[in-house]
Amino acid sequence: MPEQTRPDELSAAVERLAGRLRSLSQRRLQSGAAAAGLDLARWLDREAQLLEFPGREPYVMADEGVFVVGDQLSLAGRELLAVAAQPGHEALLAAAREKVVQAARAVG
């Protein structure tokens, strides 16, 4: 049986990655790290919207530039946790944790 992801573990992982993105140089951000962070932020944001507003097509998080992607990721993670931390969303939290791990590998 796979280990469950606790909301606080997911929150910590998202914040670590967001902090990493905030600390990277412009060159590293532009060479793919910001794109990986934005992709993850958009996925987290979409999943949160699907739970919070069922039946409505989710909005797509805007690309506000490489220097704010850490903040966008942090916000999207908090939004997802606000709606998915209740019982019944364990599979979503596990999927989110795996996506964070994958993005962290891509960012380096």
Is pLDDT at 94 greater than 60 in this prediction?
yes
Dist CA 68 CA 103 (whole Å): 16
| pLDDT at site 1 | 36
Per-residue pLDDT tens for 36-57?
999 999 999 999 999 999 999 9
Residue 1 lies in a domain: no
Q: Look up residue 48 and give its two tokens.
A: 């949160």
Residue 96 lies in a domain: yes
Residue 25 lies in a domain: yes
Residue 58 lies in a domain: yes
Is pLDDT at 2 greater than 80 in this prediction?
no
Residue 98 lies in a domain: yes
What letter would DSSP give residue 58? P
Residue 89 lies in a domain: yes
What letter would DSSP give residue 56? S
Q: How many domains does the chain have?
A: 1
| pLDDT at site 3 | 60
Residue 2 lies in a domain: no
- Domain with 23, as residue range(s), is 7-107
Residue 72 lies in a domain: yes
